[in-house]
């Protein structure tokens, strides 16, 4: 796979006014989401729900790619059309979550490291054959008393770099995702400092592992105060802090940056992205790769009537895609 092909895919993922829908919840996470709306997490219900999302009419107007879970990449519509064909026909690039989740980091209470490197080369080879063209790996960093430690940041950056190098070897664009969790009562300055050191460490590890940034996408959390912090920040403060932090730590050769929503309200996730895109010149496109902020409203509607409400739920998916697509251009209005 040439760097030109990887770069072309990466650029298409962050095409102007488009972003990514993250529907890569693992079996455990989708069960939690389904439990919240009283839907049983059977394979057929998961398939039907993802079919509703992926067959949303005109979704490709605002969505460039979708991140799937292993099970979903292999599934089809009820009429037998593979989801990957539905996506390619709609101009939506298939992506795949390839990490195997977080596990306690031995010797470091309350910290986690993401696993999944063993056997990854063979899995990536298969995912490419199944149609995936980008792959996501999520590292999780918690802020708390005396954490994150340098060891935790290094361990996660190292794993991200090894996964990213393997992806490029196998022809997939790595979407490297260090998520700094919103949990806690820390202030916005603490989140800024942690995000900066995590990103600097990550890009240093990518460099050491010969990862080509031109064929890489960064997916990251915004710089926010902890959700239990006494003092919350305005939309403008979050946008300015996030943009400054990214400019200080992300090389300009990267084709684009997308954000996760991480438990923000739908409106905040859109407003923050929009505000950043109104703040003048930046070295890379800034867009979205939201999971909850793209799906939560539609999930509720669909759950009320899983067959009868498909079109209504899809209208909500399209509306959220449109709002976030406009925010990616700095053209959203409430």
Residues that bind ligand 13P (CB under 6 A): 22, 24, 138, 177, 260-262, 290-293
d(CA 310, CA 54): 11
Q: Which is nearer to ligand 13P, 3 or 328 (CB)?
A: 328
In the complex with ligand 13P, the residue whose CB is nearer, 49 or 311, is: 49
DSSP single-letter state for residue 254? S
CA pair distance 123, 20, nearest whole angstrom: 22
> 177 an active-site residue?
yes
Q: At what angle do helices 292-304 and 310-327 cross, to 10 degrees?
A: 170
Helices 83-90 and 43-54, packing angle to 10 deg: 10
Residue burial 270-302, b: 16+ Cβ < 10 Å; e: rest: bbbbbbbbeeeeeebbbbbbbbbbbbbbbbebb
Choose between 60 and 178: whose C-beta lies nearer to ligand 13P.
178
> 194 near 241, Cβ under 8 Å?
no
Cβ proximity to ligand 13P, 170 vs 261, nearer residue: 261
The region that residue 171 occupies, defined by phi over 0 for left and psi between -120 and 50 for alpha, beta otherwise, is left
Q: Is the peptide bond prior to 148 cis by the omega test (within 30 degrees of 0)? A: yes
Q: At its nearest, how many Å lie between ligand 13P and the CB of residue 281?
A: 26
Indicate the residue among 29 and 77 with the shorter CB distance to ligand 13P: 29
159 close to 118: Cβ distance less than 8 angstroms: no
Q: Quote the least distance from Cβ 266 to ligand 13P, whole Å.
A: 10
Could you say which of 97, 136, 219, 323 is catalytic? Answer: 219
Nearer to ligand 13P among residue 24 and residue 111 (C-beta): 24
Residue nearest to ligand 13P (CB): 291
227 is written with which tokens?
């959700």
Q: How far is CA 120 from CA 41, 87, 171, 291, in A?
A: 27, 24, 13, 24
Tokens of 64: 């460039």
**Residue 296 beta carbon to ligand 13P: minimum distance, rounded to whole angstroms:** 8
Number of other residues whose CB lies within 10 A of the CB of residue 155: 18
C-beta of 291: minimal distance to ligand 13P in Å? 3
Q: How far is the CB of 314 from ligand 13P (least distance, A)?
A: 19
Closest distance to ligand 13P from the beta carbon of 292 (Å): 3
Catalytic residue among 177, 179, 196, 315: 177
> Which residues are catalytically annotated?
177, 219
């Amino acid at each position: 796979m040439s760097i030109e092909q990887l770069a072309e895919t990466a650029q298409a993922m962050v095409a102007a006014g488009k972003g990514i829908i993250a529907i890569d919840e693992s079996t455990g996470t989708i069960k939690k989401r389904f439990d919240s709306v009283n839907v049983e997490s059977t394979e057929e219900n998961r398939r039907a729900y993802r079919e509703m999302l992926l067959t949303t009419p005109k979704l490709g107007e605002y969505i460039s790619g979708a991140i799937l879970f292993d099970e979903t990449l292999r599934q089809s519509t009820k009429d037998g059309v593979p989801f990957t064909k539905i996506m390619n026909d709609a101009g939506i690039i298939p992506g795949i979550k390839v990490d195997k989740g977080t596990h306690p980091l031995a010797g470091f209470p309350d910290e986690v490291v993401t696993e999944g490197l063993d056997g990854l080369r063979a899995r990536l080879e298969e995912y490419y054959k199944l149609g995936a063209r980008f792959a996501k790996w999520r590292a999780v960093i918690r802020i708390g008393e005396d954490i994150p430690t340098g060891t935790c940041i290094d361990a996660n950056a190292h794993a991200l770099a090894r996964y990213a190098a393997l992806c490029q070897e196998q022809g997939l664009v790595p979407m490297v995702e260090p998520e700094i969790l919103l949990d806690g009562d820390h202030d916005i300055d603490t989140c800024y400092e942690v995000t900066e050191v995590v990103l600097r460490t990550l890009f240093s590890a990518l460099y050491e592992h010969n990862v080509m940034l031109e064929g890489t996408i960064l997916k990251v959390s915004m710089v926010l105060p902890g959700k239990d912090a006494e003092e919350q920040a305005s939309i403008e403060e979050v946008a300015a802090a996030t943009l400054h932090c990214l400019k200080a730590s992300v090389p300009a050769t990267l084709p684009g940056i997308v954000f996760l929503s991480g438990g923000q309200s739908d409106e905040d996730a859109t407003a923050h992205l929009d505000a950043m895109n109104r703040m003048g010149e930046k070295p890379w496109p800034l867009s979205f790769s939201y999971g909850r902020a793209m799906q939560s409203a539609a999930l509720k509607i669909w759950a009320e009537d899983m067959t009868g409400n498909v079109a209504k739920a899809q209208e909500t998916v399209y509306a959220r895609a449109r709002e976030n697509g406009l925010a990616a251009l700095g053209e959203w209005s409430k």
